[in-house]
């Protein structure tokens, strides 16, 4: 007997498979070493990343700024388990900040704290993050901390609060999916840093988070975004969801909130940032670069399995 897979099941199965593939180190190593597969996957990733190297990424930021959007740059990586590597990765972030200064880009820096030592030893992370924040402050820009899976939220918020006590240019990301986020925001709004609101990308259980694509998540995101915009606190509303963006534009116009310190932020290759810019909203593109693009690519495809069609076209060179 054959089993019929309904479209929604196929979508969920594909998303689940891609999330597993993202974490499969053997598959990653195989693809990276294979003469045929590697270029195909690199072409798929090219849509979503600012390049494998810093010079390539700087070209992307030049283009983003020329289009009228600010940028934020993340040198991809997370879960560093070796102190020497955490320090070496910090040096790359420092080279990035130096390069931003050299060319007067309009760009901040974003990073995962686990990339620079958080899960080895919070003290290592504090030292490394402090160096990057200080370098960013010297060139008049911000360092925004990304949010990781919920088991790390307390650790990241504690590290963030400590960084905030020493640096005024450090911001944080909040995930609307997590049930705890409204209470976390009460605390975060007392600190000076920019708050970026996202839905949340990690696999979470129902006791800590709303399901992806649920009405509750949409309503919570909308409520938190409106709260942030109206608060007058520097904030970034980071989503590609066109329905949510329509509602937020209506909220901003109706409430007379245009002068508030908000911005809309999207990932390279996703969403319609240009439309928002043309309608007069501040916009920012989140540009990632580096050689760790495999996990990033799989996660972008898992978020919207229909993107697999685009990925096939990209891999086969059918991009217009």
Ligand X SMILES: Cc1cc2nc3c(=O)[nH]c(=O)nc-3n(C[C@H](O)[C@H](O)[C@H](O)COP(=O)(O)OP(=O)(O)OC[C@H]3O[C@@H](n4cnc5c(N)ncnc54)[C@H](O)[C@@H]3O)c2cc1C
Stretch that binds ligand X, among 11-19, 61-69, 251-259, 260-268 (CB under 6 A): 260-268
- Residue 204 interacts with ligand X (CB under 6 A)? no
Cβ proximity to ligand X, 40 vs 261, nearer residue: 261
- Residue 251 interacts with ligand X (CB under 6 A)? no
Report the nearest approach of ligand X to the CB of residue 72 (Å).
7
CA dist., res. 265 & res. 197, Å (int) = 9
Options 57, 124, 197, 201; binder of ligand X; rule CB under 6 A: 201
- Residue 239 interacts with ligand X (CB under 6 A)? yes
Cβ proximity to ligand X, 201 vs 315, nearer residue: 201
Q: Which residues touch 13 (CB under 8 Å, ≥6 apart)? A: 5
- Residue 287 interacts with ligand X (CB under 6 A)? no
Alpha helices, DSSP H only, in the chain?
Answer: 7-22, 25-33, 37-46, 54-66, 83-102, 122-138, 153-166, 181-188, 215-231, 242-255, 273-278, 293-303, 307-315
Q: What's the first-to-final CA gap in the chain, in angstroms?
A: 42
Cβ distance 224 to 197 under 8 Å? yes
Options 304, 312, 318, 319; binder of ligand X; rule CB under 6 A: 304
The count of C-alpha atoms lying within 13 angstroms of the C-alpha of 131, restricted to the half-sphere facing its C-beta, is 19
Stretch that binds ligand X, among 14-22, 150-158, 199-207, 222-230 (CB under 6 A): 199-207
- Residue 276 interacts with ligand X (CB under 6 A)? no
Identify any residues that bridge with 110 across adjacent strands, giving them in sequence order. Answer: 144
CA 61 to chain centre: 16
Judged by the rule CB under 6 A, the positions of this chain that interact with ligand X are 146-147, 173, 175, 198-202, 238-242, 265-267, 270-271, 286, 303-304
């Amino acid at each position: 007997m054959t089993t019929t897979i309904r479209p929604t099941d196929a979508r969920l199965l594909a998303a689940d498979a891609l999330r597993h593939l993202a974490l499969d180190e053997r598959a990653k190593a195989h693809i990276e070493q294979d003469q045929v597969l590697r270029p195909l996957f690199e072409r798929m990733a090219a849509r979503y990343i600012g390049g494998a190297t810093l010079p390539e990424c700087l070209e992307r930021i030049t283009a983003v700024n020329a289009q009228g959007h600010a940028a934020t740059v993340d040198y991809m990586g997370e879960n560093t388990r070796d102190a020497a590597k955490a320090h070496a990765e910090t040096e790359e972030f420092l080279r990035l900040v130096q390069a931003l200064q050299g060319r007067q880009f309009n760009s901040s820096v974003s990073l995962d704290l686990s990339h620079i030592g958080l899960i080895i030893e919070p003290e290592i992370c504090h030292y490394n993050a402090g160096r990057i924040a200080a370098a960013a402050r010297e060139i008049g820009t911000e360092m925004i901390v990304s949010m990781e899976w919920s088991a790390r939220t307390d650790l990241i918020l504690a590290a963030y609060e400590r960084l905030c006590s020493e640096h005024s240019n450090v911001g944080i990301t909040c995930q609307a999916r997590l049930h705890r986020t409204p209470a976390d925001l009460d605390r975060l709004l007392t600190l000076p840093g920019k708050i970026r609101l996202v839905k949340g990308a990690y696999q979470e259980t129902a006791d800590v988070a709303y399901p992806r694509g649920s009405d509750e998540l949409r309503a919570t995101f909308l409520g938190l975004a409106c709260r942030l915009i109206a608060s007058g606190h520097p904030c970034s509303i980071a989503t590609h969801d066109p329905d949510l963006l329509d509602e937020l534009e209506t909220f901003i116009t109706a409430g007379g909130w245009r002068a508030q310190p908000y911005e809309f932020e999207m990932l390279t290759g996703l969403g319609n940032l240009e439309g928002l810019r043309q309608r007069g909203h501040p916009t920012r593109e989140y540009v990632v670069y580096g050689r760790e693009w495999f996990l990033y690519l799989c996660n972008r495809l898992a978020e919207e399995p229909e993107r697999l069609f685009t990925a096939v076209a990209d891999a086969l060179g059918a991009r217009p």
